[in-house]
Homo-oligomer: A and B are copies of this chain.
Amino acid sequence: LTVISLSDVEAAARRLDGVAHRTPIVTSRTLDRLTGATVAIKPENLQRAGAFKFRGAYATISSLSRAERTRGVAAYSSGNHAQAVALAASLLGSHAVILMPADTPPVKVEATRGYGAEVVFYDRYTEDREALGLALADERGLMLVPPYDDLRVMAGQGTVALELLADVPELDVLVAPVGGGGLIAGCATVVRALRPGARIVGVEPEAGDDTRRSLAAGGRISIEVPRTIADGLQATTPGRLTFEVNATLVDEIVTVTDAQLVDAMRFAFERLKLVLEPSGAASLAAVLSGAFAAPGRRIGVVISGGNVGAARFAELINR
């Protein structure tokens, strides 16, 4: 397997050193009691811009040449990738143009502009964001920063596992959410290299199990846009590169319902004192609900993000 290697992730870690937050490990005896395991939470909701996405975006943009950075970067995203690219570009003296659906919540548009990015809207019901992104990049000479299907992005996301294994070297299982598959591909590369016997478990929303089905089918399949509150995990098909990695390295995909995501968000709020967005709660939901269980084992649970407004949080918890 030669898509990315441990040394690519280590190189990304050097780029991120002193720039990305080195997120801590959070533990909870209550969680250990409920799961029968020893759980180490890696809370990337505490990462800059509120999600692991900053790692991949910064690792990618910092690897561009000075001339490329000066011309600027582009990305299409209504979510955490938008803010990650905007922040990373601003820190690196580059200019970011972000394609966002016209119906993106204003708070997300403002957050992205707050990091200095230019926002360009498109109609997500009639226009193809990938084609638009490529056209925009081409027309204005911008480098497109893909949300997951990119070697530098995957390597950046893998630094999550590098830190987790430095803090919990005896890890038995890694549990991580799967949207486009970049986070788990980078992390699985690290875990397989440093802790070959560990189990690698992905988590998808029940309605959005494109990677689970693709693995079962032995090739990438596409699904309808899934109806789930986990807006960061609404991919309809795995990435080409990420699937190549994940088909080889991921041992198992489990799924969680929206109700289980909300239960995990409430548990994180009340017991861990951490704010998780629905997608960010997927791994925790898997171990809390029993969708995945490994009694007696050391489980690393990757929390991917915490970008949810207080009002939206209250609405989800109360419904």
A residues within 8 Å of B by Cβ? 21, 24, 26-27, 29, 43, 45-46, 48, 50, 266, 269-276, 306, 309-311, 313-314, 317-318
Chain B min CB distance to A251 (Å): 29
B residues within 8 A CB of A272? 46
Q: If the complex has contacts A274-B274, A274-B275, A275-B274, are A269 and B310 also in contact, measured as CB distance less than 8 A?
A: yes
**Contact between B306 and A314 (Cβ–Cβ < 8 Å)?**
no
Q: If the complex has contacts A24-B24, A314-B314, A318-B314, are A270 and B309 also in contact, measured as CB distance less than 8 A?
A: yes
**Contact between B50 and A273 (Cβ–Cβ < 8 Å)?**
yes
Chain B min CB distance to A239 (Å): 27
B residues within 8 A CB of A310? 266, 269-270, 313-314, 317
B residues within 8 A CB of A318? 311, 314
Question: How long is the Cα–Cα vector from A78 to B45 in the complex, in angstroms?
Answer: 31
Q: If the complex has contacts A45-B273, A269-B275, A274-B273, are A311 and B317 also in contact, measured as CB distance less than 8 A?
A: yes
Question: How long is the Cα–Cα vector from A270 to B29 in the complex, in angstroms?
Answer: 26
B residues within 8 A CB of A26? 46
B residues within 8 A CB of A270? 275, 309-310
B residues within 8 A CB of A275? 269-270, 273-275
Chain B min CB distance to A276 (Å): 8
Chain B residue nearest to A317 in the complex (CB): B310
Give 18 pairs: A residue, B residue, CB < 8 Å, sorted on A: A21-B27, A24-B24, A26-B46, A29-B48, A46-B272, A46-B273, A50-B273, A266-B310, A269-B275, A270-B275, A270-B310, A273-B306, A310-B313, A310-B314, A310-B317, A311-B318, A313-B314, A314-B318
Lowest 5 A-B CB distances belong to which pairs? A273-B306, A314-B314, A24-B24, A273-B275, A45-B273
B residues within 8 A CB of A276? 273
Question: How long is the Cα–Cα vector from A314 to B265 in the complex, in angstroms?
Answer: 14
B residues within 8 A CB of A311? 317-318
Question: How long is the Cα–Cα vector from A306 to B26 in the complex, in angstroms?
Answer: 15
Question: How long is the Cα–Cα vector from A48 to B29 in the complex, in angstroms?
Answer: 8
Chain B min CB distance to A302 (Å): 15
A270-B310, A273-B274 known; 8 new pairs, CB 8 Å cut-off, are A26-B46, A46-B272, A46-B273, A50-B273, A275-B275, A310-B313, A313-B314, A314-B314
Question: How long is the Cα–Cα vector from A27 to B21 in the complex, in angstroms?
Answer: 8
Question: How long is the Cα–Cα vector from A310 to B311 in the complex, in angstroms?
Answer: 12
Chain B residue nearest to A24 in the complex (CB): B24
B residues within 8 A CB of A269? 275, 310, 313
Question: How long is the Cα–Cα vector from A273 to B43 in the complex, in angstroms?
Answer: 10
